[in-house]
Chains A and B, each alone.
Chain A
Amino acid sequence: MIEVIRHDIVIVGGGAAGLRAAIAAVEADPDVRVAMVSKVYPMRSHTVSAEGGAAAVARDDDSLEMHGFDTVKGSDFLGDQDVIQYFVEEAPKELTLLEHWGCPWSRNEDGSVATRAFGGMSTKRTWYAADKVGFHMLHTLFQHSMRFDRIIRYDEQFVTRLIVDGGAVRGVAALDVREGVVRLILGRAVILATGGAGKIFPFTTNGAIKTGDGMALAYREGVALKDMEFVQYHPTGLPGTGILITEATRGEGGHVINSEGERFLVTRDYGVGTKAELGPRDMISRAIVQEIEAGRGLSGPYGDHVHLDLRHLGEEKINARLPMVRELAKIYAGVDPVHQPIPIRPVVHYMMGGVDTDIEGATTIPGLYAAGEVACVSLNGANRLGSNSLTECLVFGARAARHAVGYAKGSDDGNEAACRSLGEEESARIAALRGKKKGGEKLARIRHDLNATMESGCGVYREQASMDDTARTVAQLKGRFADVALEDESAVFNTELTAALELSNMLDVAETLAVSAAHRHESRGAHTRKDHTSRDDQNFLYHTLCNFDPTGPRLSKKAVALGKWEPEERKY
């Protein structure tokens, strides 16, 4: 008999969005009991790796209107304007709450919170704690969450299936990684906060755990994945490892230079205008690729790159504002940015797309919510502005939780016998997978081939044939995965089993990405095509929805919520 645990709200994922949701849920209702289910300990969540900052209007020379328009323009007019309006209004409150909870924000001399410049933002509105903002936000949220006895943690529990019965979500089935058993963690509402899927690409800033789990869970139950074609390349990753060098380096005045020592974002027309190094990420990533293709890159052991030069900032400023960048460059690139430029190239960083939600974070399955990178609430459209995503986790994590608490009150527990039956089925599936096949193709081989095809077909620049080819290749990889070798029979901390479950999630997510990309015959934001080079509002000003179908992903359209800002040419 499968063990059943029951709470009111089940949150999957313990990063910024999940923790904020948990805190908002217990604050919204004095009786609500929350299960915080994570495949890692919450402080290992990938929020920890965010560096540069979190955006919210804070200064007298700024306004909600300006933050709103910057975000709309950054999104290449694919962001939903009602969502953006709500976001900019809530952002200052959320970052203030983090301050009250202990986040060590960097300060001005008068003791007010300091802000820095960031790409695509028209003034300094990015709050920061040196260059370890994600780390500090995550630890602040995690430590603050410990105040509440009603947040019950299930650490290292891998959710393998959503339990959907009677037209509503009833909870999750979770593999206890340490013990190897599958349990049902039931609740009246489930909030997915599992982050993005950067690991489907070979070269990414993302940690090993970013495997698109929540996206795949929702997709398999019939929820659409929205705008999956929009993948953000961060302009400045270390060659080889893909480790992130924050945009704050440019916010603090760093220069991007080619092999001729030229600041090409200033001297050549890449559409960023006077913003230069503080242009939006999609444009700067394209500029770097073009410089390299024009023969003005530098070659190194890990391929062609350009340079990020911080030397003119001086040691004192680098140590005060960018200590982690200095440490990372020394350890992982062997250069000290005080004395040498840092080799960098564009690197997969963030998924604009994700689980389709409305402004409440609600999906099409009653009781199922999503927030943070796993979700696509349509704040970011076709290109996210740097430092909007940490704030997004807070704003929409909280909103989803408050709505979920209200929903849970008016809902019921469902049919437990039916849930048990689904749980038993899932438990049997996992048991059959463990150690199922001796010999045969290694899991890492399939993952490698997935990574390779995603980069070749869905990289910075795309075209029809290569995207179609990638979609076909991913479908074939799913076939190969069915026959993968899984030799580890142990019930205890079987990371071969969890890697297989992750790879299966990655394959589903990758397929939706390639298929969605191949059907958008225009260039918008991060989706840049060599064969359709301009934006086409006439035919493509809509969100792509991708639904699961046994015969293959099925696409449809969803209207963009426009508002006071009419689409115009995106030029800086």
Chain B
Amino acid sequence: MSEKKTFRITRFDPDQDEAPRTQTYEIPVDPDWKVLDALNFIKDEIDGSLSHRWSCRMAVCGSCGMMVDGKPTLTCKKPLSEYGSEISVEPLANFPIVRDLVVELDGFMEKFESVKPWIIRAKERAVEEGTHRQSPAELEEFKQFSMCINCMLCYSACPVVANEPEFLGPAAIALGHRYNMDSRDEGAHERNEVFRGEGTVFSCSYANECSEVCPKHVDPAAAVNQAKINAVLDWATGFVVTRGKE
């Protein structure tokens, strides 16, 4: 632990601070550390008042997303060795700050729920009927989009979210699309109605930033593009059916 690095960390306590400020810590670092290890060292050894979220430290619980040197980063996954001697750590962009490196998730959770992320069926299957048959190919149709850990890096990277905070956003759209593509689900029509609403799939500007920062290779940009096409097709089909009935 001979090498030292300097961390410039956003501090904000709404009880005391009018605006976020930056505090600097110089600490010895281990060559194998991830960014999160440095934050935990500061919290344990230097400043117990630093607040950040973390838990699994194996890139699956999605708690520890932050801006590191200005980029949305899952801090338990990113090696410290990839940075220089001075590193800035800020809360995720495009979210309100609660305190220090902790951001508010309320808006995200509402968006997440709005896409009806559960299996919808006209008639629910009874346990006695056993499992559905789903071929490996059918599983492949949605599997990638089911890998999202809700770390919210894509919302921090998204230029549309930055300008239009109400935008449904990459992770929520990918999640809705995941259920639409699941052979067990019959709820695509309901979700496509959500997707055709204001501030959803058609607000996306194809920047692709979401897919670039995704630590789980979910490729939400691909989901958004597919969801757009499906939402239009669904509308067109509904139009034909409605006309046909008249």
Contacts and interface: CB of A to CB of B under 8 A. Distances in A.
Interface string A74-88: 000000000000000
A49 B55 CA distance: 10
B132 A99 contact: yes
A208 B57 contact: yes
B134 A444 contact: no
Contact of B133 (A112, A486, A494): A112
B14 A496 contact: no
A490 B99 contact: yes
Given A48-B60, A110-B133, A494-B51, A100 B118 contact: no
B45 A102 contact: no
A442 B132 contact: no
Interface stretch (A1-9, A138-146, A416-424, A517-525): A138-146
Residue from the set A136, A155, A241 with the largest chain B CB neighbour count within 10 Å: A241
A488 interface: yes
A464 interface: no
Contacts of A146: 113, 117-118
B149 to A, nearest CB: 7
B119 interface: yes
Interface stretch (A39-47, A224-232, A253-261, A505-513): A39-47
Contact of A147 (B57, B118, B130): B118
Interface string A227-245: 0000000000000110110
A332 interface: yes
B71 interface: no
B132 to A, nearest CB: 7
Interface in B108-131: 109, 113, 117-119, 124-125, 127, 130-131
B60 A132 contact: yes
Interface residues of B, number: 57
Contacts of B32: 240, 301
A324 B45 CA distance: 32
B184 interface: yes
B77 interface: yes
A292 interface: no
Contact of B182 (A96, A102, A241): A102
A495 B98 CA distance: 12
A269 B54 CA distance: 42
Given A178-B98, A493-B98, A496-B48, A102 B131 contact: no
Interface residues of A, number: 63
A107 B139 CA distance: 8
Interface in A116-149: 132, 135-136, 139, 143-144, 146-147
A266 interface: no
A107 B184 CA distance: 14
A487 interface: yes
A209 interface: yes
Contact of B15 (A485, A486, A492): A492
Interface string A45-81: 1101100000000000000000000000000000000
A209 B54 CA distance: 9
A217 to B, nearest CB: 19
Interface in A465-505: 485-488, 490-496, 499
Contacts of A101: 118-119
B185 A487 contact: no
Contact of A496 (B49, B61, B136): B49
A48 B59 contact: no
Contact of A109 (B52, B77, B136, B175): B136
B102 interface: yes
A328 interface: yes
A155 B52 CA distance: 16
B77 A331 contact: yes
Residue from the set A147, A208, A244, A488 with the largest chain B CB neighbour count within 10 Å: A208
Interface string A399-429: 0000000000000000000000000000000
B32 to A, nearest CB: 7
A97 B127 contact: yes
Interface in A264-303: 301
Interface string B36-73: 00000001110011011111111111110000000000
Interface string A313-330: 000000000001001100
A107 B119 CA distance: 18
A493 B51 contact: yes
Residue from the set A105, A301, A332, A485 with the largest chain B CB neighbour count within 10 Å: A332
A20 to B, nearest CB: 14
B149 A207 contact: no
B13 interface: yes
Given A106-B139, A209-B55, A490 B98 contact: no
B229 to A, nearest CB: 23
Nearest to B100: A493
Nearest to A111: B133
A295 to B, nearest CB: 26
Contact of B55 (A44, A97, A494, A496): A44
A96 B131 contact: yes
B135 A102 contact: no
Contacts of A136: 146
A490 B13 contact: yes
Given A136-B146, A143-B118, A40 B55 contact: yes
B242 interface: no
Nearest to A494: B51
B55 A104 contact: no
A443 B46 CA distance: 11
Given A104-B146, A107-B139, A144 B118 contact: yes
Closest 8 CB pairs of A and B: A111-B133, A444-B44, A488-B49, A207-B55, A493-B99, A143-B117, A207-B56, A496-B48
Given A143-B117, A493-B102, 12 more contacts: A40-B53, A40-B63, A46-B56, A96-B127, A97-B127, A111-B133, A139-B146, A147-B118, A155-B109, A324-B60, A442-B44, A493-B51
12 contacts: A44-B55, A93-B127, A100-B127, A102-B119, A107-B136, A109-B135, A110-B135, A111-B134, A113-B131, A208-B57, A490-B16, A496-B48
Interface of A: 40-41, 43-46, 48-49, 93, 96-97, 99-102, 104-113, 132, 135-136, 139, 143-144, 146-147, 155, 178, 207-209, 240-241, 243-244, 301, 324, 327-328, 331-332, 442-444, 485-488, 490-496, 499
Interface of B: 13-16, 32, 43-45, 48-49, 51-63, 77, 98-100, 102, 105, 109, 113, 117-119, 124-125, 127, 130-136, 138-139, 142-143, 146-147, 149-150, 175, 179, 182, 184-185
